[in-house]
Amino acid sequence: MKWIRSFHPGRRAILAAALATLSGASAVPTTGGQDGPAAAGRADPPTLEGWTRGKGWGWIWGPKDEVGSLNAMSDRSRGEALRLASEGKSYDLGQAYSRRSFRWAGHNPGEVMTFRSPDRIAAMGDPDAPPPGTNPDRIHWHSCALFISDNVGTQIDGLGHVTAGADDHWYNGFTEADWGGDFGIRKCDATTIPPIIARGVMVDVAAWKGVDALPAHTVITAEDLQAALDRQGVAIRPGDVVLIRTGAGRYWGDEGADHETIAEHDSAGLDLAATRWLVEQQGAMMVGSDTSGFEVSPPPPGTGSMIPVHKYLLVDQGVHIGELHNLEALSRDEVFEFCYVASTNKIKGTTAGFALRPIALR
């Protein structure tokens, strides 16, 4: 990863540059900048190769690329992120999934079905049952068959999840006619999401507003994000994974079965302007939240799409979206900066990594 330092002149910038050099950091943590909220008095964030301030990411990695902005990770950036884990503490960011779990209405319900069990193996006379007299210790096993959506539980949307236009294209111009299929998509499936190790920043909007959870349909603006960051004393840097806490995750419980209560808060989220600020002004490499959709629902009038933020991030920018992340423990301990680690199910054709267990390391 090639960092291009863009410090402003002055004693403060010189001091910041010196501190970054002494600490081994690639860039000084700064926020704001022109076109962002409360820009006056804040230095612009440093620039990262592949990201252009005012433009973001986009289709820049070549015509065959299926990875998007996660291409910006490097051995150096991963090493810097891992150095944040100096305390050896881990936070489980995954929400447990079951057949009763809350999900977006556009995804099918899931079933976890017992396929083999100690009593059924013998009772059903399964072909793989041990022959009589050959299993004196009664060794049996459990296994399950799954019928499940690839967009349930804690998840990371792949770049082929959303399509746009008459040609149903997704990231980098791949189209349904060329790359769709009966057994999943054949470009930008979840197997193309690399293992993610990056600096993570949690923006606790609910805490900044002084509520347990944001009410339904609350629009999170760029000004809200900057105010929450100022309260936390943490800045976003290009190449970060940025997770937004609305507080909806506090109602998930053991398995997300209380659909009514979750739904009262799940529709809060970012509008398109706030999302563009994160990507184009701050350099977020991946974004996510504790809701099932990240963006506010329904979208504000005049956006031209039922899910304008998804279209902008996945199709236009090549930025993955994390959903239903459990951010409650991070909020409780006021951990706003950490090493984010996630790896998706390696199942060909799937449009998202699902039922995941990302972790935050400190």
Question: Residue 223's domain is classified under what CATH number?
Answer: 3.50.30.50
| Percent of the chain residues past pLDDT 90, beyond the cut | 72
102, 149 Cβ separation under 8 angstroms:
no
Bridging pattern class, strands 352-353 and 155-157:
antiparallel
229 & 116 share domain: no
Q: How confident is the model at residue 274 (pLDDT cuts 50, 70, 90)?
A: very high
197 & 287 share domain: yes
- For 175, the token pair is 């189209």
Domain that holds residue 123: 111-147
181, 349 Cβ separation under 8 angstroms:
yes
Task: Specify the pLDDT at position 30.
Answer: 34
Beta strands in 138-292 (DSSP E): 143-147, 155-157, 196-204, 219-220, 241-245, 269-270, 286-289
Which residues does residue 242 pair with via DSSP β-bridges, in sequence order? 201, 287
Q: How many domains does one find in the chain?
A: 2
9 domain residue, yes or no = no
Residue 73, amino acid: M
- For 357, the token pair is 């267990």
Cβ neighbours around 63 below 10 Å, total: 8
Task: Specify the pLDDT at position 69.
Answer: 99
Task: Specify the pLDDT at position 49.
Answer: 86
271 & 137 share domain: no
Task: Specify the pLDDT at position 28.
Answer: 31
pLDDT in tens, 93-149: 999 999 889 887 778 888 888 888 888 777 777 766 778 788 788 888 889 999 999
Task: Specify the pLDDT at position 280.
Answer: 99
Phi (first) and psi of residue 286, to 5 degrees: -150, 150
129 & 278 share domain: no
- For 350, the token pair is 């799937």
- For 106, the token pair is 């556009």
Task: Specify the pLDDT at position 43.
Answer: 59
pLDDT in tens, 9-66: 333 343 333 334 333 433 333 333 334 554 433 556 677 989 999 999 999 999 999 9
69 & 80 share domain: yes
The closest of 208, 204, 200, 274 to 237, measured between CA atoms, is: 200
The closest of 106, 55, 103 to 306, measured between CA atoms, is: 106
Task: Specify the pLDDT at position 108.
Answer: 80
pLDDT at 158 over 80: yes
233 & 274 share domain: yes
124 & 246 share domain: no
Q: How buried is 177 (Cβ within 10 angstroms: 0-12 exposed, 13-18 middle, 19+ buried)?
A: exposed
Please tell me the pTM assigned to this model.
Answer: 0.85
4 domain residue, yes or no = no
183 & 117 share domain: no
Q: Report the pLDDT averaged over residues 203-225.
A: 98
338, 361 Cβ separation under 8 angstroms:
yes
Task: For the chain, give the mean pLDDT.
Answer: 88
Phi (first) and psi of residue 18, to 5 degrees: -65, -40
Q: What is the Cα–Cα distance from 289 to 95, expressed in whole angstroms?
A: 12
Angle among Cα 102, 104, 110 to the nearest 5 degrees reads 60
328 & 198 share domain: yes
Q: What is the Cα–Cα distance from 338 to 329, expressed in whole angstroms?
A: 13
pLDDT in tens, 314-354: 999 999 999 999 999 999 999 999 999 999 999 999 999 99
